[in-house]
Amino acid sequence: MRTLPSRAPSGARPLRIAYGRLFHEANAFSPLPTELEAFERCHLLAGDDLARATTLRGVELRSFMPHAELTGFRQAARVAGGIETVPLESAMAVPGGSMTRACFDTLTARLLERLEAAAPVDGVYLALHGSMQVEGLAEAPEAHLLRRLRGFVGPGVKLAVSYDLHANLSSGLVDPVDVLVAYRTNPHWDLAPTGFRAGRRLIAALRGEIRPVHAWRKLPMILGGGTTIDFVAPMRKIFRAMRALEDDPRVVSASLFMVHPFTSAEPLGWAVHVSTDGDPGLASDLVEALAERALEARHVDLPPMHDPGAASAIARKRPWRMLGPVTFVDVDDVVGAGAPGGNTHLVRALAGAPDLEAYVPVHDPALVAELWDVAAAAPGTRRAVVLRGTPGYGMPEVALEGVVAARATTDSGRVVRFDVGKLHLAVCDRPPLPIHPSFWSAIGLTARRADVIVQKNFFHYRMFYRTISMQHLPVVSAGATSLVDVRRRHGEPARSRGNPGNESAPAFPPA
């Protein structure tokens, strides 16, 4: 591919910086491939539409966050002054199975075509994930994109990238870039601040105020860090240390990557990265110290896990039931980590607990198709059904008799509410990600009135349920985000599904 013409220096002329996104977190163990339609349904903006969405009055990620990385980047440009920002394309899909090669090639080509049309530019900022996976592509997709982009713009254009802190860092994600930053929060609320940090550093590099050099280390760990939440032990002190590093004027950025473990990419593992202002020796020393801090967390295991029966017993006995529901985090079927959401194990267990008012989302497009018209024409109809979950997922069939109560169209597609006594199923024709209580109100339910709410997300729902649910129980069954399977794949004997958190710390694979 030909190299774009570089932009000649011109005194006080505005710098031109292009910006865009290609963002997806892949789960290699989901039976549902990610197609272009998943991006079109979730988030796909370009040109003037992207420019309008990334202002403070705009909405960048509808149904997720009004202001994310690209809005933060544009605010950095506004504050710096003398910057012309050039919108390319922004594509994001809900985590899911590996992206098809046709989808990836289409999105990559469109991004590069828009960059060619925008030329010449001085810099490019991209918001990427770092754990994409593409069918039939041997290298990391972000590395493939960055290599092509670097060849496209040539060495004279500076490139800044931000990554999710669950990226699987590799040389292909580091070597082509000038500026690299990552999220600093888990759950991730700092998308806009991350884009702002990237923008400030890119502009400083373009103006010759800093000369970033990089050092990074892959760590011999895949799991660890307890809950891995940034503001609780053991991760709190590590994130504080990174913020303290960036207070040093010699340091450009410091980042930790607590890898997404549900890909088949190799090598897989945590990583740390430090960039300094023209001092590779300092970067190397600081990254070694940061690596040692991160390695200390490898023996802090996950919180105790519960099987469905044990979790139900806890929910039944808890003394403050009137304060709100217990959350069951369906650890093995987390849609927020790319699982399809069609795990039927918890449905079967909660159907056998008739005294618990339980709200459960589940993916079963065939059952939605069967009940959709009934829910519209005759809500209240009693029906015997068979729940099968996601096609190809291998879940046990569950025979149920209940009432077709309601239907709605939500961000999780078409949803039919099917009530089996106190068990309220939200049967979805797309992988369900009901992180906001409004998902339940759309089908006539009030989140606070439940005894149990099942979540298909590790962390992010807590931002919206913090005044509703005070107790959160990880519940294990079987599915595409099984941590037991992660350990098995990487050489550690599988632990008991009943309470793996009480056993010895994991044995991590070599770096």
> E strands within 237-391?
251-257, 271-277, 326-330, 358-363, 381-387
| Of the candidates 19, 270, 251, the residue with the CA atom closest to the CA atom of residue 122 | 19
For 443-472, how does the pLDDT look when each residue is reduced to its tens digit (9 = 90+)? 999 999 999 999 999 888 988 999 999 899
Q: Strand 83-92 relative to strand 43-46: parallel, antiparallel, unpaired?
A: antiparallel
Query: Which CATH number belongs to the domain containing residue 243 in this structure?
Result: 3.30.70
Say what the pLDDT of residue 501 is: 31
How many C-beta atoms surround the C-beta of residue 39 within 10 A? 23
Same domain (yes/no): 418, 329? yes
Q: Phi/psi zone of residue 147: left (φ > 0), alpha (ψ -120 to 50 degrees), beta?
A: alpha
Taking residues 358-378, report their average pLDDT. Answer: 98
User: Does the structure show a pLDDT above 70 at 237?
Assistant: yes
**Structural domain of 55:** 13-209
Q: State the angle between helix axes of 191-206 and 69-80 in degrees (0 to 180), rounded to the nearest 10.
A: 40
For 170-193, how does the pLDDT look when each residue is reduced to its tens digit (9 = 90+)? 999 999 999 999 999 998 999 999
Share of the chain above pLDDT 90, in %: 85
What pTM, to 2 d.p., does this model score?
A: 0.91
Share of the chain above pLDDT 70, in %: 93
Q: Is residue 120 in a domain? A: yes
User: Does the structure show a pLDDT above 80 at 392?
Assistant: yes
Domain end (from 182, 209, 236) = 209
Q: Is residue 4 in a domain? A: no
Same domain (yes/no): 197, 216? no
Give the bridge partners for 410, in sequence order: 413
Same domain (yes/no): 459, 316? yes
Domain end (from 184, 209, 234) = 209
Same domain (yes/no): 85, 234? no
Say what the pLDDT of residue 59 is: 97
Same domain (yes/no): 165, 204? yes
Output the CA–CA distances (angstroms, integers) from residue 38 to 269, 333, 410, 500, 505, in the order listed.
Answer: 27, 19, 14, 35, 38
Q: Is residue 17 in a domain? A: yes
Cα torsion through 277, 280, 283, 289, rounded to 10: -160
Same domain (yes/no): 374, 285? no
Domain end (from 232, 265, 300) = 300
Domain tally, the chain: 3
For 101-112, how does the pLDDT look when each residue is reduced to its tens digit (9 = 90+)? 999 999 999 999
Say what the pLDDT of residue 462 is: 87
Q: Which amino acid is at 494?
A: A
Confidence label for 7 from pLDDT (cuts 50, 70 and 90): low
Same domain (yes/no): 44, 137? yes
| Of the candidates 235, 45, 26, the residue with the CA atom closest to the CA atom of residue 141 | 26
Same domain (yes/no): 200, 324? no
CA–CA separation, 367 and 371 (whole Å): 6
3-state secondary structure of 140: coil
Q: Is residue 474 in a domain? A: yes
3-state secondary structure of 326: strand
Q: Is residue 107 in a domain? A: yes
Same domain (yes/no): 112, 184? yes
Beta-carbon contacts of residue 487 (< 8 Å; ≥ 6 apart): 223, 493, 494, 495, 506
Three-state SS annotation for 25-88? CEECCCCCCECHHHHHHHEEEEHHHHHHHCCCCCCCECCCECCCHHHHHHHHHHHHCCEEEEEE
CA–CA separation, 495 and 488 (whole Å): 9
Same domain (yes/no): 239, 342? no
Same domain (yes/no): 249, 272? yes
Least confident span in 383-397, 400-414, 454-468: 454-468
Say what the pLDDT of residue 355 is: 92
Q: Is residue 506 in a domain? A: no
CA–CA separation, 103 and 89 (whole Å): 14
Q: Is residue 490 in a domain? A: no
| Of the candidates 331, 336, 347, the residue with the CA atom closest to the CA atom of residue 389 | 347
Same domain (yes/no): 220, 279? yes
Q: Is residue 176 in a domain? A: yes
Give the bridge partners for 251, in sequence order: 276
Give the bridge partners for 27, in sequence order: 97
User: Does the structure show a pLDDT above 50 at 84?
Assistant: yes
3-state secondary structure of 415: strand
- Cα angle 454, 459, 464 (rounded to 5 degrees) comes to 75
Taking residues 349-372, report their average pLDDT. Answer: 96
